[in-house]
Amino acid sequence: MSEKVLIRRLRGISVNEQSLKVVKEMMKKKDSLDIDVLELRNHVTVIDTGVNVKGGFKAAEYVTRAALCGFGEAKVIMAKYGSIYLPAIVAYTDLPAIIGISYYVWPEVVHPPHVEVNEYTAWVSGPGKALRQKPEKVYAKLDYKDEGNVAVLLVQPRGKDLPDEAVTEKLASACGVSPENLYLIVTPTNSIVGSVQVSARTMEDGFWRLTEYYGISYDRIEAMMTITPIAPVSPRVFTEPCPWADDMIRHGGVLHAWISSREGEDLQKIVEETVIENNPNSFGKSFYQLAVVEKKYIDPEYDLIRLAKEGYGFIMAEVCLYDTRTGRMYRAGRVHDNILEKLLSSPW
């Protein structure tokens, strides 16, 4: 195994404490953001952004900033896609390693929603994982340890349910912090904040493919920016055909990344393999069709490499890579506004 990469800007920094600065700003503005702050009996702090409150675009911007641990920004805008205007989120970071540290899903503690169990399920991510250096694949390549004593996690349940004391105790224990030092941001899939923060994860899909699939080291990805349309909120997500945030990423997500290449690295091949139009297993299909009907995307063994290789995962509409070593640009794909409009107006 090659030597672990040390990111200079992360030296002596607690990503959880950086994220907590954003979280505390959210908490102070909870009324204007239409979110709620709850302290459970075990003193875990839960920030509800869409279960018993409406939340909104501004709250979603804060949540994305918290997920980036303050090392990036997010802004909801209106953008034109073909003949229609859609809300979209622009997100960027000039420390892309934070995506590997914070954004990756942590399925080891709480079951993700596609696992059928009679208990609370959610996609869990956030910098709290760094306290225990999870996932292992990140810290096998990255020389970083968060020495703080607070943890911030994002919890995305399928339904409108807050985690109870038993679930939060499990999460606190997994992070290695006392419950009073755990902060959970709950973003239900069926909520404005949930939909927006998933669209911002075009960055996660792009970063994962570049690093975990193509093996580009974390320090060589110097900056990343994305723009992705936002799916409408629907209570039918996962149960009936309707547009999902994943559809927005796949057929409308645009990724720009600045990379210091190595001699012989084929960046043009990378961009071409990453766009959905060159992946016939997914192109033109709704995420509902792939995940629910064909059961092709959500893999029970969590084999992400297979999903990427077969063209089911970690793909988007358009990719542009800037080689900071040579000054060249490599791009492929385009936004498929005709498919977006069909998915949004007459889904299947």
Q: What is the pTM of this model?
A: 0.96
The pLDDT value given to residue 15: 98
**Is 340 buried (19+), middle (13-18) or exposed (0-12) by CB count in 10 A?**
buried
The pLDDT value given to residue 238: 77
DSSP 24-87: HHHHHTHHHHT-EEEE-TT--EEEESSSSS---HHHHHHHHHHHTTTSEEEEEEEEEETTEEEE
The pLDDT value given to residue 164: 96
Angstrom distance (rounded) from CA 12 to CA 66: 19
Q: Which helix (H) or strand (E) holds 309?
A: helix 304-309
The pLDDT value given to residue 300: 52
Which stretches of the chain score pLDDT less than 70?
1-2, 298-302, 347-348
Give me the sheet containing 45-48, strands edge to edge. Answer: 36-39, 45-48, 182-186, 151-156, 123-125
Return the HEC string of 328-345: CEEEEECCCHHHHHHHHH
The pLDDT value given to residue 299: 58
The pLDDT value given to residue 301: 62
pLDDT digits (tens, 9 = 90+) for 155-169: 999 989 999 999 999
The pLDDT value given to residue 302: 65
**All domains of the chain, ordered by start, with CATH?**
8-345 (3.30.1030.10)
DSSP 222-244: EEEEEEEE-PPP-TTTTTSS---
The pLDDT value given to residue 117: 82
Angstrom distance (rounded) from CA 297 to CA 266: 27
β 254-259/318-323 pair status: parallel
Q: Which long-range contacts (CB under 8 A, 24 or more apart) does 41-44 make?
A: 41/165, 42/165, 42/168, 42/169, 42/172, 42/179, 43/179, 43/180, 44/165, 44/168, 44/169, 44/171, 44/172, 44/179, 44/180, 44/182, 44/183, 44/184
